[in-house]
Chain A
């Protein structure tokens, strides 16, 4: 397999997605399958310095540099899990653990 359990656990941590043991084994198999599939791009010659591509117009128009007030159609705090005094609240958990 091209991507192992340890790598999947590391990537899940980077992506901040909790993956339990029941999910992990099938995920390792599925992600390996996908990574093996996309590796066929190695067949294509793309010399160093080849530019990438972004679709759309070649130059993007700039808008007028004017401050506009956004008036929300629904209150911004109405959908917040916890909101008070203009602040979005999160559970107090101490500091972010070192990796």
Chain B
């Protein structure tokens, strides 16, 4: 009879917790099994026995968003188009989690093809907010956020194109970390908007988020946009923030900001000052154009990236009425994609089409440069980090924004600029308003992820992120 190890104990406990989460109706998972969990534990123990001392994440169960490919579990992207699809390879981030001794716990639910801000656009049902089932957990990485918030797993992988980890992290009261673009390999992340996409991390603490980033980051020859840098080392542990200069952009504190969010940010800013940081008002003047810029560039890239789903080599095939092979494509894509994915592909096709390309796509690329330059100027002028609210409101009710696509898009107003600029950004819990979590966001210069994590850890140590602020 084999002995229990920390990994086998973690696998058993995780299975129990996942079963409970399913029974509670969270709908956060799409695939998991106790058998696979036990296999993960066996793999981790084998690694450790064969000389893998000091495996950074040994025995840590990590949930994986279902747009990150795995060979042993399906990858559906929460779409009928890929129902039952099993990848022939694992994502680099998954391989590195396992190399560090982590257990891939399950595949999590998401907005279809990562397009959404509420996880209401999954073909397999919406995810429920762990604290209030009538509300959304945010999106598109809502399943991963919900599992970490519910205490089922200590960490999870999600993905960001326009804030899809930080926004649900803020809604659910957990840490959400988007690394610098190019720091984590995109090999095995199903492409949505390739100049925006990043694998990102949920965790119950800043320290754990940093540990996971250390394990999965570093150059990968299989991702042509992967930065030529080794894995991020462990962030320095600081005791205070003396000498750190933090900017609060005035564009992120509008007059109509939710009062609970404002109270949370004000309290966090007081804490930053108490810790020795200098906090000043700054300006990112093109902030208001970030969402419309994003909703030209992201759909344009999506229309190209999702052209591969044509019913020929994999995924759903719908033969449709008699016609040529184009009829096969049209019928397959018409029935395989959900409404939001179709909307975005159509918008993307429109802005790239003859007669509209210069007016929309080229224009958006130029405005993107202005948005990125806003960040560069602020950081070049002595600001070490920016601090802002992560979202304009706490988690909203399910169904509240599904009728108006633009209303949904505006949920990302504070998070999508960092994706456009490629800068690292993270959210951590800074309080609660009427029981609902509020997130505060740090943004740092490109590739200064480590300093951002060190700063956030100090704030986390002082601030009770579950305290009612208003």
Contact = CB atoms under 8 A, between A and B. Distances in A.
B466 interface: no
Nearest to B418: A55
A95 B325 CA distance: 8
Interface string A38-70: 111111101000111111110111011000001
B343 A80 contact: no
A41 B362 CA distance: 11
B176 to A, nearest CB: 19
Interface in B194-250: 195-196, 219, 221, 224-228
Interface stretch (B134-142, B158-166, B251-259, B314-322): B314-322
B327 A93 contact: yes
Given A34-B347, A54-B195, A73 B88 contact: yes
A47 to B, nearest CB: 9
B412 to A, nearest CB: 13
A79 interface: yes
A51 B349 CA distance: 22
Contacts of B295: 34, 37-38
Interface stretch (B53-61, B116-124, B364-372, B431-439): B364-372
A33 to B, nearest CB: 6
A86 interface: no
Contact of A33 (B225, B286, B405): B405
A11 B181 contact: no
Given A40-B289, A44-B367, A81-B311, A93 B328 contact: yes
Interface size class of B (residues with CB under 8 A): 35 or more
A89 to B, nearest CB: 9
B85 interface: yes
23 contacts: A11-B349, A14-B353, A18-B331, A30-B343, A31-B346, A34-B347, A38-B292, A38-B364, A39-B292, A41-B367, A44-B363, A46-B366, A52-B362, A52-B366, A55-B422, A55-B446, A74-B71, A74-B87, A78-B86, A80-B313, A93-B327, A93-B328, A96-B324
Interface of A: 3, 7-8, 11-20, 23, 27, 30-31, 33-35, 37-44, 46, 50-57, 59-61, 63-64, 70, 72-76, 78-82, 88, 90-91, 93-97
List the 5 closest pairs (A to B, CB-CB), nearest first. A55-B422, A18-B334, A52-B365, A72-B88, A73-B71
